[in-house]
Amino acid sequence: MINPDVQQTINLFNIPEPIAAIAQKVVAGERISTEEGLALYEKADLSLLGTLASVVRERLNGNDAYFNKNFHIEPTNICIYRCKFCSYSRKVNEDGSWESCLDEIAATAQSYKGKDVTEVHIVGGVHPQRDLYYYADMVRRVRTELPDIHIKAFSAVEIEYMFKKTGVTANKGFEILKEAGLNSIPGGGAEIFDETLRAEICPDKVGSEGWLAIHEAAHQSGILSNATMLYGHIETYAHRIDHMNRLRKLQDKTKGFNCFIPLKYRKANNPMSDIGEVSVIEDLRNYAVSRIFLDNFPHLKAYWPMSGKEIAQLALSFGVDDLDGTIDDTTKIYTMAGAEEQKPSLTTAELSNLIRQAKRTPVERDSWYRKVRLY
């Protein structure tokens, strides 16, 4: 029997029978097809999507909403690629470029000694002169300064290039990074998997199959990861469902993804600025369908430095159970693209208040989503 709350929403909005049938499958814990996921994007009322997404998130995570205490290190924005949506990358010696040496990176890590942080997130541009051993040394230097911290580092795009430049297999490359102290990898660089779109917006970087292969190899090496999707540009709902379906298939195979993170395209300072940005309504629709479709992903994150605090808070009612972390104003990737948060930093008290105001339970987590403290 369908959940009474869902039935009330169906009756209130006169939901057509095909969507009502999908709703019943979701409430029953059954997997929906790609066609049904597309139908939810195209035809389902936002209120129904929020209700269904909340059913799924509460089945997986109860009323808990997670965050951690983290900071970022961005070694360089020098990049061999110039993706059309990117406001961050620069060429060598181009105005606005930067590159931190290993001593500077170690000093940044050293500045967090004794501070209450549990994770460092390291990502940057794909530097033409840096190979695997350079990045392994970077991880090793950070590990020396912060022996107990969780190091989540390098997107699949960075990793694919460093492995190729060094001439090692993915399995060997991850063995070297693990030995240096790597714990997990983030989900960046996925963008949108459709090959035709990818050829238009990021033609030179690792393709969709290569991105998935890097994450599969990471999982096989015992390294968990996240996954992202860049939405709100020239893609369609069908492209989004295709993207998530490829992730869902890999997760069925490896069970190595911790979290899915939808990332909204931001228009400032990049060649695609003329297309504008999608609305908040579209953001919430996307969070909800993501939570419903990706039934084998344990967590869904609203990355608040990208979305803004208020939208991240709203997303807690549309399937989201994680808001990322404190950040400490250590990332420029989205601020350079015009994100709402130009100096991204929140205290644990501020994050907890955001969560409580949304009627969720604030939970500090570690990088494996183990509970550290209830607020």
| Helix/strand/coil (H/E/C) assignment for every residue in the chain | CCCHHHHHHHHHCCCCHHHHHHHHHHHCCCCCCHHHHHHHHHHCCHHHHHHHHHHHHHHHHCCEEEEECEEEECCECECCCCCCCCCCCECCCCCCCCECCHHHHHHHHHCCCCCCCCEEEECCCCCCCCCHHHHHHHHHHHHHHCCCCEEEECCHHHHHHHHHHHCCCHHHHHHHHHHHCCCEECCCCCCCCCHHHHHHHCCCCCCHHHHHHHHHHHHHCCCEEEEEEEECCCCCHHHHHHHHHHHHHHHHHHCCEEEEEEEECCCCCCCCHHHCCCCHHHHHHHHHHHHHHCCCCCEEECCHHHHCHHHHHHHCCCCCCEEEECCCCCCCCCHHHCCCCCCCCCCHHHHHHHHHHCCCEEEEECCCCCEEEEC
Predicted local confidence at residue 340, as pLDDT: 52
> Residue 338 — pLDDT band, cuts 50, 70, 90?
very low
Residue 147 has pLDDT above 90, yes or no: yes
Predicted local confidence at residue 332, as pLDDT: 42
Predicted local confidence at residue 17, as pLDDT: 83
Residue 363 has pLDDT above 90, yes or no: yes
Where are the domains positioned within the chain?
4-60, 65-374
Q: Encode pLDDT of 43-94 as tens digits.
A: 999 999 999 999 999 999 999 999 999 999 999 989 998 878 777 667 887 8
Mean pLDDT calculated for residue range 253-259: 98
Residue 346 has pLDDT above 60, yes or no: yes
Predicted local confidence at residue 337, as pLDDT: 39
CATH code that applies to domain 65-374: 3.20.20.70
The pTM (predicted TM-score) of the whole model is 0.92
Among 78-87, 100-109, 311-320, which is the least confidently predicted range? 78-87
